[in-house]
Amino acid sequence: MNTPDFPRFTHRPWIFPAIDLRGGRVVRLVQGASDAEMQYGLDPLEFASKWVDAGSDCLHIIDLGGAFKEPDSLDHVIDIASKLKLPIQTGGGIRDAETVERVLSQGVTRVILGTRALQDPEFLKAMVVEHGSERVVLAMDMAEGRVKISGWTEDSSLDLASGIDFAVDNGVRTLLLTAIDRDGTLSGANIPLVKEALSLAEDKGLLIVVAGGIGKLEDIKAVLDLNSPALQGVVVGRALYEQAVDLKEALELVKNYQSSK
């Protein structure tokens, strides 16, 4: 299958509209809590098409069911990839080589790996070697200075700096940095965390996708204003669904940022 490729874009950063799935439903969680779910709809393709019609050229789809070891929604992810044919990154409970192969062979551009990858560096390294560093993203889910795993419920042995070193040592080129305490809250990005991560990433030759807390256009601008070459994109989720951020305006903001470089 001919898979759309992120590197075909000549500019970055990108806006990643987020679609979180649980049991095939489109939902959002607050701070990753499984019992703090807000439901937005029953048709993931409808939402994906809405963001594409608004001008988005990529999507960020997370399978929360997979992350919580519930029935997964990967069929919905693959359906979106096959019908919309644009770059999609997906993650959530992807813990084995067979699942990585399944999604990457059926139109998804890149996978986001978390718990298994952080616990088993040989697995992570093997996935990077087999599929290429441009198709594997490592999740760096942060709370209280630590990288969290197992659906954000357990502490790993890593802090931000050692997590970035771990990524480099295993061939990763792109990190998804999520501020768990801000995720789904609309309270703004954790700028000190983002700034530190971008600084460390610049020194290591990594790229960062920032997630967690975007609640208005000014929050996206605050991330852009860090002016880091390591910034690959910003994930926007709940703010789109609750119309606190207009996707067309967010895309225009990034376009103007690019043209001013």
Q: Pairing between strand 88-91 and 207-211?
A: unpaired
pLDDT in tens, the chain (261 residues): 678 876 555 457 899 999 999 988 887 766 556 566 677 777 999 999 999 999 999 999 999 887 778 888 899 999 999 999 999 999 998 999 999 999 999 999 999 999 999 999 999 999 999 999 999 999 999 999 999 988 777 888 899 999 999 999 999 999 999 999 898 889 999 999 999 999 999 999 999 999 999 999 999 999 999 999 999 999 999 999 999 999 999 999 998 887 676
| DSSP class per residue in 10-25 | SS--EEEEEEEEETTE
User: Residue 255 is inside which H or E element, if any?
Assistant: helix 247-259
Provide the whole-model pTM. Answer: 0.92
Tokens of 168: 């480099």
Quick one: which of 13, 20, 7, 207 has its CA closest to 87? Answer: 7
Q: In whole angstroms, how far apart are CA 175 and each of 74, 178, 201, 248? A: 21, 9, 9, 25
Strand partners, 208: 175, 231
What pLDDT score does 33 carry? 60
Please report the pLDDT score of residue 37 as a whole number: 63
CB 113 within 8 A of CB 139: yes
Amino acid letter, residue 43: D
Burial of 32 (0-12, 13-18, 19+ CB in 10 A): buried
User: Which structure tokens are listed for 14?
Assistant: 């990108």
What separation in angstroms does the CA of 189 have from each of 132, 144, 174, 207, 212?
A: 30, 15, 19, 17, 6
Spatial neighbors of 80 by CB under 8 A, at least 6 apart, are 19, 44, 45, 48, 59, 61, 88
Q: What CA–CA distance (Å, rounded) separates 14 from 5?
A: 13
- Domain 11-255 classification at class level: alpha beta
Catalytic residues: 20, 141
Judge whether 185 and 215 are in contact, CB under 8 Å: yes
Packing angle of the helix pair 160-169, 191-204 (nearest 10 deg): 30
CA-closest candidate to residue 210, choices 149, 192, 240, 163: 192
Query: What CA–CA distance (Å, rounded) separates 258 from 137?
Result: 24
Q: Residue 64's closest CA among 76, 46, 81?
A: 76
Alpha helix positions (H), 72-159: 74-84, 97-104, 115-119, 121-131
